[in-house]
Structure formats: C-alpha cells, structure tokens
Amino acid sequence: MENVMATLQNVVNIIKTPASLVGVIALMIGGYYILAGGQEGRQKGKYWIIGAVVGLLIIWLAPEIISWLKTNTGNI
C-alpha cells in the first residue's frame, strides 16, 4: 500500500505544474469571454472560470488528500 501512495504522490507532483498552467490559461479564456462575448459569452466565460477553479482546487488539494489517505488507510 505504501508503494501505491508513493506512486500517487509522484504523479501528483509531476502533473501539478503543467495542470496549474492550464488552469490559469482557462481562467484567462473565461475572463476574455466575459469581457468580449456579450450575453452568450458571459455564460460561456462563467463555465470556463468555474471549471478552472474546480480543477485548480483538485490539483492543489490532491497532496492533502493523499496525505489523509496515507494516515487513515494504514491498517488495510
């Protein structure tokens, strides 16, 4: 079980930086849609921003989730 958790931690560390960059770009695209897209663009931009924020939260909370799993699944 320890090897699985270590592998998950390594994967998260590798993916975190490029995924964060993609999330920031998605936020910028959402902002552009809101500013330049009229009424339809505002709705589209809102979805882009919500998706980007949710994605960034998942990426940045993943190490904490893995740490919690390590602590609470040690008896398996």
Q: What is the pLDDT of residue 74?
A: 67
Confidence (pTM):
0.75
What pLDDT is attached to residue 71?
84
Task: Report pLDDT for 11.
Answer: 86
Q: Report pLDDT digits (tens) over 31-73.
A: 999 999 889 999 999 999 999 999 999 999 988 887 888 788 7
**Rounded CA gap, 74 and 1, in Å?**
8
Tokens of 57: 């939260």
For the chain, the domains span 25-76
Q: Is the dihedral of CA 55, 58, 61, 67 positive or negative?
A: negative
